[in-house]
Chains A and B, each alone.
Chain A
Amino acid sequence: EPEVTQTPSHQVTQMGQEVILRCVPISNHLYFYWYRQILGQKVEFLVSFYNNEISEKSEIFDDQFSVERPDGSNFTLKIRSTKLEDSAMYFCASWVGDTGELFFGEGSRLTVL
């Protein structure tokens, strides 16, 4: 069964460092997303990406964040200078573009010290 894969599963970093989280969406999907879940809280939308550009972003997705699809398979989230409050589980999702569901990866846990 096709699945969304994310790496790393857990990353620990120092405040102010750059972090890149990687995702491989399902191959025939057209829309890609990043969501964030701070421990014990709701799952929050960060950004959606379609046709090689951002289609929507939330207030959380400020200038410290960027996304890229550098080749035909990877979809990355970069945090330029991490803050303590960026500590969270980051989920990548992809969607084929119909009435079906979004498929989520297992998540990347980011811990900022």
Chain B
Amino acid sequence: EVQLLESGGALVQPGGSLRLSCAASGFTFSTYALTWVRQAPGKGPEWVSILSSGGDTTYSADSVKGRFTISRDNSKNTLYLQMNSLRVADTAVYYCAKYLFGDRVHHGFDIWGQGTMVTVSS
């Protein structure tokens, strides 16, 4: 079964840091671009960042540039999101997801994890 499983969400104070992990199984991890999408309570999804299959190309939303870093370890089938200088506005469920077709960016995300909650509050 193709599966993504996020972990690492927690309650953190503003200005703090957190690292999320996304463990993959059931597909050839190293051949797919992966992405993080977040969803604040009661809001729609917001795309956060994407990393190519080889880890050499990345794009991020302006709202997280300079604070969040996406990375992957293809030997461990795991995607990461390092989040620094966290703000109250970063409070959300964070999902990892895989591209439908390899590194081809135009076709949407077909497999999503169950999400992990990040709460930024003092």
Same assembly: no
B residues near A, CB below 8 A?
none
